[in-house]
A and B are shown apart, each in its own frame.
Chain A
Amino acid sequence: MSILLGRRISLALLLIPPLAWLVVAYLGSLAVLLVSAFWTTNAFTGAVVHTFTSDNIVRVLTDAVFRTATVRTVSVAVVVTVLCIVLAVPLAFYMAKVASPRVRLALVVAVTTPLWASYLVKAYAWRVLLSPEGPMSWTTGYSPGYGLTATVITLTYLWLPYMVIPVFAAFERVPDSLVDASSDLGASDFATLRMVVAPLVFPGIAAGSIFTFSLSLGDYIAVTIVGGKTQMLGNIIYGQLVTANNQPLAAALSIIPLVAIIGYLLAMRRTGALENV
């Protein structure tokens, strides 16, 4: 009995710090954010005034510019995610199933090395590359210039490793014997891919897409570097928080990406992809 009690106490001591961190720091800051969305500011000093108002929420829901930015941001996140999947799946398949161990190692290094470089350096590199007078336009005579296209290209580049690695891991976990069994039983290559490999790899794609979707949704730095005048939700939130000093409106606006990512996670859960990750 006392041994059991002692174990329980030590388990509690072990779990209290991470739980306290989760509740106080993580959920606590989110709660403060949600509450502050209902406050207002003093127009002269910019100080937050603790009087209840739903004006910020109403504005976030009704203002046309916020709606446009939301549609743009979610679309960018979806397009970046789709592009990452299209690029990552064949690459990950080749890495896991076709390449020799030496080539596989080289590819893993090549995919993960960019993660060591600073985000800013990579975004600036794309600014140089895509510049109307830059290397891309010397060699091809074409450059998309700074705008939405450049933003999608840069974000796809930045988040691609976050897609390749989980998909690669998922392909690696597919036993070769299952593929062999499928073809022994008369399935064509395409049928094997569709009915055996795809269901096993899908959780990896889903995990990667959560990274690419949520990272794109919150990005506001790459878009200021290569996006020209393009505004994403992050830029609008930053502008309201830092330039306009309107913290409550910024808090109300940040509920939009929060809802979007919760919606995405729920949709992923419905597909069953999150059950075996």
Chain B
Amino acid sequence: MGKVARTAEAIDPSTRTLLTEVDVPNKDGRLLPGSFGEVHFAVGTNVNKVTVPVNAMLFRSEGPQVAVIGTDNKVQVNTVLPKEGSTGWSDTWMLSAKAAHPNCMYKWMDWITSPEVNAQVAEYFGEAPAQTKACEHTSQKDFCDIYHATDAKFAADLHYWTTPQKHCVDGSGNNCTAYNEWVDKWQQIKG
């Protein structure tokens, strides 16, 4: 019985594998350096999971959603994740190093990321607010719950968009598919 010491924290999209390091007790010296073995992971199964047919899912700009009947007997549309996880992005504001009026930009950033304004932006766009304090200011009270804004477990299943590079972002080597190769492949698919 070993123990997971650490993982790469991100799944390699090309192989769909997660690099994992396991510490295994080897008091009797039966495991030799360089040898291969089959490993089974005991994964916690106490997570509340429901399987729904794909027809029941709503694919909307907010991401995949499922309509459920809430405790108050009203239909509620929940954002759900397929078991493979989903992709996501985070909006950012950047300040140009050569900005003519940097203080103006700082003031703008303070304003746009303030809880009240962030709540408005998130509800207008249909996305989880980046600012957790915004959850108190949304006009729809359960907005943050529907969008899993403060759900770390949900966020762990989101794969953030990155520019694919030869050098794998999860540190698994230098043989990943770079962005220009994706373009080449797409042109080949179109023929």
Q: How many A-B residue pairs have CB under 8 A?
A: 32
Q: Is A244 a contact of B190 with CB atoms below 8 Å?
A: no
Interface size of A by CB at 8 A reads: 15
With contact pairs A244-B179, A244-B183 given, residues A44 and B190 touching in the complex (Cβ less than 8 Å): no
Contact of A229 among B180, B183, B188, B190 (CB under 8 A): B190
With contact pairs A43-B178, A244-B180, A244-B183 given, residues A65 and B165 touching in the complex (Cβ less than 8 Å): no
Interface string of A232-268 (1 = CB under 8 A from B): 0000100110011110000000000000000000000
Bound-state Cα–Cα, A271 to B102, Å:
66
Interface string of A68-108 (1 = CB under 8 A from B): 10000000000000000000000000000000000000000
Chain A positions within 8 Å of B180 at CB level = 41, 43, 240, 244-246
Q: Is A231 a contact of B187 with CB atoms below 8 Å?
A: yes
Q: Is A243 a contact of B190 with CB atoms below 8 Å?
A: no
Chain B positions within 8 Å of A231 at CB level = 187, 190-191
Bound-state Cα–Cα, A43 to B179, Å:
8
Chain B positions within 8 Å of A43 at CB level = 165-166, 178, 180
A123 CB → nearest B CB, Å: 19
Does B137 lie at the interface of the complex (its beta carbon under 8 Å from any beta carbon of A)?
no
Q: Is B183 a contact of A243 with CB atoms below 8 Å?
A: yes
Q: Is A239 a contact of B178 with CB atoms below 8 Å?
A: no
- Max count, chain A CB within 10 A of own CB: residue among B167, B188, B190: B190
Bound-state Cα–Cα, A231 to B188, Å:
10
Does B184 lie at the interface of the complex (its beta carbon under 8 Å from any beta carbon of A)?
yes
- Max count, chain B CB within 10 A of own CB: residue among A243, A244, A246: A244
5 contacts between A and B (CB under 8 A): A43-B180, A65-B191, A239-B187, A243-B183, A246-B183
A residues engaging B (CB < 8 A)?
41, 43-44, 64-65, 68, 229, 231, 236, 239-240, 243-246
